[in-house]
Amino acid sequence: MSSGVLSRYLDYEFLRQLSGRSLEPRGLVSGNLAGSHKSPASGFAVEFSGHREYVPGDDPKHIDWRVFFTRDKYFIKQYEMETNFVCHLMLDISKSMRYGDDGSQKMLFGSRLAVSLAHSIVRQGDKVSFTTFDTQIRGHIPASNALPQIIRMSQHLDETAAEDKTDLHACLSEFSQRMARREIVMIFSDFFGDLTKLEYAIQRIRFNKHDVVLVQVIHDHELNFNLDGMTRFIGLEVDAQQIAQPADIRKSYLQAIGRFNSELVDIATRNNCDHLLACTKDNPGAIFWEYLNQRSLQNRRI
């Protein structure tokens, strides 16, 4: 793969801005490698968590002799193990993500967010998987914490085109069956579709205690409707078009998109998910720096 393909999706300024920040799981995580996050399993290393009564076969070196002298019973000191987590990055590649030109195209903007964030996660020693979807799951790269994962993601994206509609409910429901332990799921999408069905899919993922982050990728035109002059509006996922003067419909449009965004935020709030608005005109590094900072502060309060 040429270095040009990698540089197309890996935002080095994003990485520079996120230097020193890390994505932290909420609560206890399960993993299969030594890492920097607390595990629900208990072991004999890292941070003291409590005692349990001694049973034959336990290593005597873990007996807490101070407790023995006060209670005349043997107790074993237990510690919380540290482990890695898995973050699943899911990118919507439906036709509506095709909106925008050059770097402001939603699909390219979302791709850069996902790949750059994946690089940051891998560098902190955790695993990341990558999935693309529209009406169905189109591609999946299994979780890895090796840097070649970034190359695999970039190559997959370079071979991917937005060709179909969106079915978030079907894709998220299918993907939820692939996860067995507590993990992080970050969904990069404009979320244009049936929000009621989306909530059902999110609830299914949250039922198994997975951490869900909704990264709403939206173009500045869609968010603020800053268009002027007679405009032809062409449906990306429906076969329809309309010529209109933006000034005539701006108020109604802004009310509609406002209701939609409010409902999406409400869904995230009701289901204890994070919602992150990523507008294509904004600095992606700044967006995630603020988010990771807030997430870290929230974790300290848990």
pTM above 0.95, yes or no: no
Per-residue pLDDT, 70: 83
Written as one letter, the residue type at 72 is: D
d(CA 222, CA 255): 12
Check pLDDT > 70 for residue 43: no
Buried-exposed string 262-293: b where 16+ CB fall within 10 A, e elsewhere: eebeebbeeeebbbbbbbbeeebbebbbebbe
Pick the residue with more confidence: 120 or 75? 120
Pick the residue with more confidence: 172 or 27? 172
| Domain range 1-24+84-300, CATH architecture | 3-Layer(aba) Sandwich (3.40)
- Report domain extents, the chain: 1-24+84-300, 31-82
Q: Binning pLDDT at 50, 70 and 90, where does residue 279 land?
A: very high
Closest CA to 187 of 254, 88, 286: 88
Check pLDDT > 80 for residue 66: yes
> Is residue 24 within 8 Å of residue 295, measured between CB atoms?
yes
Query: Tokens representing 168?
Result: 């978030």
d(CA 28, CA 47): 13
DSSP 178: T
**What does the pLDDT look like over 172-184, one tens digit per residue?**
999 988 887 789 9
Q: How large a percentage of the chain has pLDDT more than 90?
A: 54
Reported residue count of the chain is 302
Residue partners of 19: CB distance under 8 A and separation at least 6: none
Give the chain's radius of gyration (CA, Å): 23
Q: Binning pLDDT at 50, 70 and 90, where does residue 296 land?
A: confident
Per-residue pLDDT, 50: 65
Query: Tokens representing 256?
Result: 């509609």
Residue partners of 42: CB distance under 8 A and separation at least 6: 49, 78, 79, 80, 81
